[in-house]
Amino acid sequence: MRALVIDDSRAMRRIVGGILRGFGYETIDAGNGQEALDALAEHGPVELACIDWNMPVMDGLTFVNRVREQPDLRGITLMMVTTESEHGHIVRALAAGAHEYVIKPFTADAIRDKLDLLGLLPMEETV
Amino acid sequence: MTATLLTSGLVLSVAEEVFAALVDGEEGKLTPWIGAPVPFAEPVVAWVDLAGEWSGRAVLLTERSTADDLARALLRLDPSEALGDEDLVDAFGEIANVVGGNIKSIVATNGDLGLPQVSTTIQDVSGTVIEEVLLSWRGRLMIVRVLHLP
């Protein structure tokens, strides 16, 4: 399975990507929403996208909206991974089409629990 | 405006949670600083703006060498691996971002979080101090400030 890790922080991409690779994912990095759209155009759809909210060029919410406008990307599971933890932000993201919402700071176990709920853990990782 | 909900205890709690989950992978490495603060010889400051109905700024301030080690810890770098200035700015800024985001959820600004900034000039960060917490990360001073912006 492939995952797109979208965050303007290289450190955060490294952390999230490392967790996902530990679960058996192949990961692709993007530094903002536009880079992520470019990556999808180049590599094709992925199973999962982990999306930061606040990024330069194109933020995470705009990326979610853009993905949801494209029928060929409808199969991607969108998981916000962000410091924006106010209720209004969570509602806006889920209304736009995000499937899950993880608030930083997180642990690998928290990511695994979300993936398990979404049915996106490889069989040997399912809890 | 709900900034009055913010206390030094809540700021400490946020910082402890962030460091335990992201930086150290375990609890107990970040504790309250005991005694008078030591002056920084080579300070580094990172901050993120909290916009909305209440406008403020969450600030992390520490010694350059401490920020280097924080970045190394966040990036899980081996001692032999070089840490570039870009790595320091990215990692220290991201720690400020996560601390600031969680403080913002307490203050409930009903707005957005800014992008993290990092500087070696403390004067770049201004505003009225609402809370200030002195912390010890592995025995080294780190200051978390929450400022109110006009």
- pLDDT (tens digit, 9 = 90+) per residue, B97-131? 999 999 998 887 788 899 999 999 877 677 899 99
Task: Please tell me if residue A21 touches chain B, with a CB cutoff of 8 Å.
Answer: no
Verify whether the Cβ–Cβ distance A105 to B75 is below 8 Å: no
- pLDDT (tens digit, 9 = 90+) per residue, B56-82? 999 999 999 999 999 999 998 887 888
Q: How far apart are CA A10 and CA A92, in angstroms?
A: 26
Q: How confident is the model at residue A125 (pLDDT cuts 50, 70, 90)?
A: low
Q: How far apart are CA B30 and CA B42, in angstroms?
A: 21
Verify whether the Cβ–Cβ distance A85 to B94 is below 8 Å: no
Residue of B nearest to A55 (CA): B115
Taking contacts as CB-CB distances below 8 angstroms, the residues of chain B near A54 are: 97, 112-115
Query: Residue A11 is nearest to which of B21, B74, B115, comparing CB atoms?
Result: B74
> Can you give the pLDDT at residue B3?
64
Show the domains of chain B with their CATH numbers.
Answer: 3-148 (3.40.1550.10)
Does A126 score more than 60 pLDDT?
A: no
Show the domains of chain A with their CATH numbers.
Answer: 2-49+61-80+95-125 (3.40.50.2300)
Residues in Cβ contact with A77 at an 8 Å cutoff, skipping those fewer than 6 apart: A47, A48, A49, A99, A100, A118, A120
- pLDDT (tens digit, 9 = 90+) per residue, B2-39? 666 789 999 999 999 999 999 999 999 999 999 999 99
> Can you give the pLDDT at residue B53?
86
Taking contacts as CB-CB distances below 8 angstroms, the residues of chain A near B86 are: 10
Task: Please tell me if residue B94 touches chain A, with a CB cutoff of 8 Å.
Answer: yes
Report the DSSP pairing between strands B56-63 and B140-148.
antiparallel
Among B112, B117, B118, the strongest candidate for a mutation testing the A interface, having the largest count of A CBs within 10 A, is B112
> Can you give the pLDDT at residue B4?
67
B62 to B67, B92, B93, B133, B142: CA distances (angstroms):
6, 10, 12, 12, 5
Does A85 score more than 90 pLDDT?
A: no
Verify whether the Cβ–Cβ distance A53 to B91 is below 8 Å: no
- pLDDT (tens digit, 9 = 90+) per residue, A57-79? 999 999 999 999 999 999 999 99
Taking contacts as CB-CB distances below 8 angstroms, the residues of chain B near A93 are: none
- pLDDT (tens digit, 9 = 90+) per residue, A9-55? 999 999 999 999 999 999 999 999 999 999 999 999 999 999 999 99
Task: Please tell me if residue A127 touches chain B, with a CB cutoff of 8 Å.
Answer: no
DSSP letter assigned to residue B79: T
Q: What's the gap in Å between the CA of B47 and the closest CA on chain A?
A: 14
Q: How confident is the model at residue B147 (pLDDT cuts 50, 70, 90)?
A: very high
> Can you give the pLDDT at residue A46?
96
> Can you give the pLDDT at residue B65?
94
- What's the mean per-residue pLDDT of chain A? 94
